[in-house]
Structure 1
Amino acid sequence: MTDRDDPLIDSLLDELFQQKSPPDLTARILAKLPSQNGASHPAPISAPIYDAALQATAPVAEADVTESGVTRSELARRRTVWARRRQLAASVGMSITLLALVAFGAWVIRSNQLEQERLANEQKANPAATVEPVKVATNDKPLEPIEPAPPKTQVADNSPAPAVAPSMPKIDAPPQVAANNNPQPNKSPRPQIIAEPIPSLAKTDAQVVTEINDALAAGWKESGVKPTDEATPEEWCRRVYLRLLGRIPTVDEIKHFASQRGRDRNEKLVDEILYGEAHRAELSQYWGSRLANTLIGRAVGMNDDSDVDRTAFEKYLGESLVSGKSYDSLTRELLTASGSNKPGSADYNPAVNFLGALLDQDATLATAKTCQVFLGRQAQCSQCHNHPWDAFDQRQYWQLNAFFRQSHSVKGKDSLQVVDKDYAPPGDKPDQGFVYFERNNGVVDVAYPQFPGEQPIPPSGRVSEVNRRDYLAEYVTHSDMFAEATVNRMWQHFFGVGFTPLVDDMGTHNPPSHPELLKELSGDFAASGFDLKRLMRWMALTDAFQLSSQTSNDQIADQPYAGKPLFAHYYTRQMEAEQLYQSLEMVAQSRRTPALIADPAARHQWLGQFAREMGDDEGSVEHALDGSYAQSLEMMNGRLMENATRLDSGVLKSVINSNMSPSEKIDHLFLAALARKPNARERKSISQILTARKDEMPAALQDVWWALLNSNEFLLDH
């Protein structure tokens, strides 16, 4: 029976799939029902009219009248009518049941058709859908890591392999050149994203800073929070040196800043550190170390037997920053680097230390670290399943992972090399370079390289045709996630807390505390040409960065560690390991203008004792510089503390040999360690100690100095 044969089915399908209200088909239904003698029933008549008609046509005999006043013939007719009504009701009920079954079957058929259409569309948009999944045999025993046999590929007649879409990168640039200007062999031309160019930033730095101040002030007003007073000039000076150079300032630097007059003294100090030649080497060393920590962790490359040349990598990163290299350019270099990390080799390229440390067998560490650092998203859990909190699902994870499958880390005797080779899945050719991944239900699926939200790139695994990492680098640096992740991480560095509690786990599950400000500031950062030093300048000159770390009862709503930061005061935190090392090295220097560039080997040896690689899927590092026994012992009795508190070195030597009064000497030591003078209680207690030990003044000053360097206040950035 077709829809044209029976309008009932047609009407029902209209109601199910087109949301149309069905017409009243009661008459048609009754007309279709057979009568007892095979004839069709007449059109239905309401009961009162039907009874009246029977009475009008039936002759009445007096003998036929029953006790109730109804004739026997009429009673018989009424029984006939009631019987027909019961038969009619039963027939209608059966018809409705039949129609419901027909409708359910039609719904099932239509659902299957829609699912097939969806899969067909997915196959056209994603070539991975054209490969037949392979069911992995599972029993009560756990799955063993096996290399699945390549499944038969079934490609629809009208489903060609993915090609470059109009919105995809185009290949029109010259071949990529490595950091040492040696062309890389067997590399395809670098793709370029076809996207609207980002206009240059039309705002001045002062306008950007004002917008930040206004946004934070609006949050204070809305939450009924009153910000604290400004920090003292000495406190702010110490804070700036720690955040920009990774060490506390010298007493001379503090006094020089505090003696300055004028509203622009803060700007002058920030510009002197960021752009002046006097601090160029320090700036390079500190930020090279910080960027390396973010990219490969604190522990990698700290030991002599490591394949990673951490010293060269930190130098490369630091020089990139101080020279003004844009952050998107630096990111592209890191993601596309090939060559050797051995100095003097023909293909030497220090940038390979990044991926060289992360390209394990399946490049899972490289995938997770790229998402965390450059996109601010967690992805490692999606390696095995669709994680509800991760930004990318399982297929998207392996689509990102596929970008790294042409790249390999080759470890030599004393070097590390990253090379690109043609990639093909096991048993297949490089023409279709998909990767296998296993779903929770034991089905092996495939994924082609595709950046989230973008079209697939050409599927070829041949490096000469498509260099996948070149595509990935362009997509990453053109993504909105890239600028937001960088701004969020830098904000955390300056203020102790990012716009999100975890800067590498952004997403809908972890909304930012100031979404409008984050979006605006990210746009300004991109428009500045991804200028990291300019981004630092904006944050260091904000009103929030100048606030005192003291709190008040008016700031109950300011809860930074509960995901509700308002930045109404400066959030106190412990020094980083690098900051502590540089600060102790600085106060141990004997020269008036100390040589603050520490020996990299000695620095790595000291820092390495507090860091340990965890060996997990995230490549995480355990850090023991958090009040542990190891830290306490090192601070009280370690080499650094011994050098800093010797009578013949550094700050202590200059104070002991000076012509200052005992009170002035105490002021100098407090200023050097804590960027403040002692309060009345402290001054009284120390004066009593010095008076009691006036015959051994150097030793008494040494004890005071040791106590200051081991105090909680010295260890804090406040």
Structure 2
Amino acid sequence: MNSDQDTNKHPGERPSDDELTPQESVALDALLSESVGGKVPPEFKDAILQKYHAGSAVDDAMKVAVTPVSRSQRQSERRRKSRRKLATLSALAIAGSLAAFFWVRPDLSFVKDFTVAQTQVPQPSVAPPNVPAPEIAASSEPTVVADAMLVERQPDEKFEQEDSAKPAKSAIVLNGEQEDKSGAGPRESLPAEPKLREPPHSVKLVSRNIEKDFKAYWKSAGVQPTDEANPAEVAERLSAALGIKVPVSALANHDAAANWLLNKDVGKAIAGTWWNQVTDGNFATLPADAQNRLQSGFARHLEPNSYFNGYLYRLISRTDTASNNFYTSMVPADGDATHPDMIANLASLTMNLDVSCTRCHDSMIGGNHGQKDYWGFAAAIDRGLRKSGGKLVRVENKPAKDVFYETMDRRGEATKPGVPVRWLGGDSSRSESTAKLDSIASWSNSLKGSPALAEGIVNSVWELVHGRPLSGQAAHPMSAPMSDDLLKVQKDLVDDLVRSGFDIRRTLALVMMSPTTRRGTPESLRDVWATDQSESHKKVIAFAGALPPSKAVPMLAKVDQSMRAIGSVMSMDGRSLLAQIGEGGTSTKRPQTIKALAWDFPDQADELPVQWLQSVQSMNAKIAHMCYLAGLEQVPQPIRRAADAMQKAGVDEPTLLHRVWWMAKEK
């Protein structure tokens, strides 16, 4: 038998290898037709079969004469050929599918009718870098969108040049912090699952709610708001507050204010004022390049789709190139990580907490935080920072050690490093939880997007415009009386900040256009710092009237005026001398009315600056508390001598303490 005999057809046998049965041909055609959606694909079958049967040079060289085989051998050979043909068909199907896929790939017209609604999967409402996001219309049914805190827009080219040391885009790390091999610092850690938030309401609705809640607050406080000031007066007042000239045109409406804030020069100027405020003036002590970096970072986040909580998170977590500048700005030049300014400034900005009193004793008002909480917070911050070259720089967490502090009764106590978890819930949900976050990393991760952070940002913006926060400073002599109505105003702004993805430009514009900003100045404010319950004083305290423009007066000039009010002057050696005729009158026990250097000099007060001073026993301790509230670590000697002179002159206690506060405060 020769080799050609193998190809002969026998009755009942299948076709040869180079042919397909009719059923196989139909199946293959159907497969290709289904793959390409009715289009005619390129023909590859014949070429593949020809290549397959042609064999190779090696196959030809190895051919030998075929000897006759038995029927069983022939059947075995047929089975092998059958398997080989099945493999060929599989290869044909795969090749045809791949060819069809690449051939039809550019034609995606079939996707046009496939809408997002059909997927049933919510998509994040985030615009690509440098492309403003469309305004989200208010809806009666809130739409769930991805939390914007997880997306950060890229800075524009100009700002990138000013801050060229910015690290590469961070990777998402689910557990802990990922080591950065580039040398640019650790990368940002993000939660495994993005939180969900609702889209913001319309600006008109939010503004209407703020005005309605303020009217309810003024009614409950028993004050009648002043008439609205003319736009030029409001613009002048805002110019002094923001540190840059505000045109009247920027106050036409919210959109006008928001658009004005987009100007980069405006943004950087406001940034400098804001940083100086939240650092209690320590920002001004930074080198110019460090100031510029922080100002540029803030200004970038006045642009659309810039999420301010993400920016603060990177600064706090020490993953931003400006983190060292951020922490250094929180303290005086010689301050360390546990300096009182550091703890007070961080607590105020990030959690809307006034912890100034809890450094020395448990808080008696305004919260359930105590001295142990204060020192635990300080120890947690200290674990992640060290002083190097005049800066506070990142250090991997030092071993957690107990920190010792002295109580009011001189007893020594100890606590472990940790930020109380209950501090992160905001005013609406301060719990009694004893859980702690023992490092900067764990604290910053829990802080991002928290109600407490939103409250801190809102109050920092409110203080930027109005000179004092909306809430959070219960110990301050000029704190507004707290009520549910005032907390509603705060909630209006906090909720809108969170819904907007922490759009601080939107919040700043809302505060600039709030009904409190438009109020006029009461007729008489000479006793504004004296809690005499006058109508003017009550209006200003409750944000129903505006403070007049003020100028900074040096402390020694204030001391001199306080001495002249009792008919005395301070000599060079600190002794109290009788004032000359015509320079303040004669010495009497009754304070004299004199021409004041500033409108806010307290002539006469009927009540203490803050009522909790009644629980402080000695006059020296009360004076020390007033100076401490004004940001001073100790009572300056000129103020101490002036206070002694006023005591000897018989000045009543409320007036004396108001004057001490007036002399000690910066403005």
Higher relative contact order (CA 8 A, sep 6+): 1
Output the TM-score relative to the length of structure 2.
0.46
Output the TM-score relative to the length of structure 1.
0.43
